Amino acid sequence: MKTNRALQANWPLILLFGSYTCYALWALCFGERIPVRGGLGWDGEIYYFMSQDFFQYWKGRGLDGYYIQRIVPSLIVKGMHYAMGTEHAYWRTGTYFGLLNLVSLLGGTGFLLFALKSVSQKWKWMAALMALISFGTLKHPYYYPILTDSFAFLLGAFMLWAHVSKKRGFVVLAAIGGAFTFPSFLLMALPLIVFGKQSIAHHPTHVLDKVVVFAVLLTLTALAFLGPAFNGTMLFGAMQPSKIMVLLAIPFLLGYVFMLWTNIGIISRLKHSFYRVNAGGLVIWVLLFLFMALVKYWAKPSPFGLWHVATSTVASALVHPGVAMVAHATYFGPVFLLLILYWKRLKQTLLEMPLPLFWTTFFSLTLMMGSESRALIAGLPFIIFVMVMALSKIQLKGWQQVSFLVLAIAFSQVWLPINIGEMSGEFLQFPMQRYFMHFGPWMSNTSYILNLILVVTAGATVWAIFRKSAVN
């Protein structure tokens, strides 16, 4: 009897998970695969050879400090080959990575739902929809499977669940795996490991808050003028904007950061956080950081240092005006349109979160200023978590859920064939743009305009769907 009631209550989730699994398996067996380098792609070629023989590859080819932080998925796929007794081959290894992506995305969504145990079933279904139905989590993981993104999503969601469930040991375990899966993961884990789980009932604005915000905006402005977007030195075939375009884009970048960073009582939050530092957690995080630094020291020097990360993140936001939000909505779907529509409520809910959860989500939202959406995937569970908590008092109607599903499927672009014509040539020209139009730094002018029209139209649709829904 209890089983039947559980099935009746959860059948929308079961249907969503089952449909997702069927599509993913079909895509892996019969769908498109990125044609570059025999289906490996660019970074995927490195992960493929690491999955063959990691130590030999490190020794013989000189693995650099950037890729040493992404070794865990390759080692798992190597174990899959060993368990199945199969030889490495481009297509087979890509399929194993794809299966790992499938398990990671379903498992990560499951942990996200466990963390959202207090919300209604309808909002749990919406959370699963936000997590699973997008270009970044539905089409891309099986078109370009040999990447570490999906496993980073799993670890991010697992860390979120562990924190909400007060299982600090699992938070540390996620941080260890994440440190060698996604470069930004260790910084995301820092507040969850080190700070005590308390919140601030009131967040008084200190005079120094304005100084901090001004310093942040000034730093971003300096990076904008010193960085590759303004100087025309964007790497890897990314969009080379004109100086006028950069000047037009800077206000959008600064405006977003200003809206996020103001009125949060940052000085008070820092003070309360440091007063509640967990000494054991701090020691664990420092040891993990030192271990990662030691491994990176023995690896080949990486060109992707702190200066590159800072300047490229800012530069990616300047290739077109407001390109970051256009790119995030294009890559991760209408969840980011809801974020804009209910920005004030989202920020208020964020301010009410326990400090460790506040800082990790705040860090993820700050990263949203850049337009390389893939860099957000480990923080996506936290963004969805706060979004759903902010909107959970809305009484959803069935037609609203169905409308949002249709919109999410449209944004996922599972209906759009990518491999049309010879997939070679310039990244900023078609047919390569059929793939690169989903990534902010590589959107051509034409793709940006098309995506902008799509996002504005979809934004109006989301507003029409939810405009009469009040949040108390």
Q: What is the DSSP string of 81-116?
A: HHHHT----HHHHHHHHHHHHHHHHHHHHHHHHHHT
What is the Cβ-side half-sphere exposure of residue 273, based on CA atoms within 13 angstroms?
22
Alpha-carbon distances, residue 385 vs 38, 342, 353 (angstroms): 38, 14, 11
The identity of residue 324, as a single letter, is A
- Contact of 186 with 288, CB cutoff 8 Å: yes
What is the Cβ-side half-sphere exposure of residue 340, based on CA atoms within 13 angstroms?
20
Write down the pLDDT at residue 472: 46
Q: What percent of the chain has pLDDT over 90?
A: 64
End-to-end CA distance of the chain: 36
Distance CA 340, CA 459 (A): 9
Write down the pLDDT at residue 293: 87
| Burial class of residue 402 in the structure, from the number of CB atoms within 10 Å of its CB (0-12 exposed, 13-18 middle, 19+ buried) | exposed
Q: Where are the domains of the chain?
A: 7-208+264-466
Greatest Cα pair distance in the chain: 67
- pLDDT per residue over 218-234, tens digit each? 999 999 999 999 999 99
- Contact of 90 with 38, CB cutoff 8 Å: yes
- Contact of 16 with 121, CB cutoff 8 Å: no
Mean pLDDT of 369-377: 94
List 277's β-bridge partners, or say none: 195
| Burial class of residue 305 in the structure, from the number of CB atoms within 10 Å of its CB (0-12 exposed, 13-18 middle, 19+ buried) | exposed
Check whether 382 has a pLDDT greater than 70: yes
* Confidence band for 466, pLDDT divided at 50, 70 and 90: confident
Alpha-carbon distances, residue 421 vs 30, 70, 274, 448 (angstroms): 18, 32, 57, 21
- pLDDT per residue over 76-96, tens digit each? 999 999 999 888 888 899 999
pTM comes to 0.94
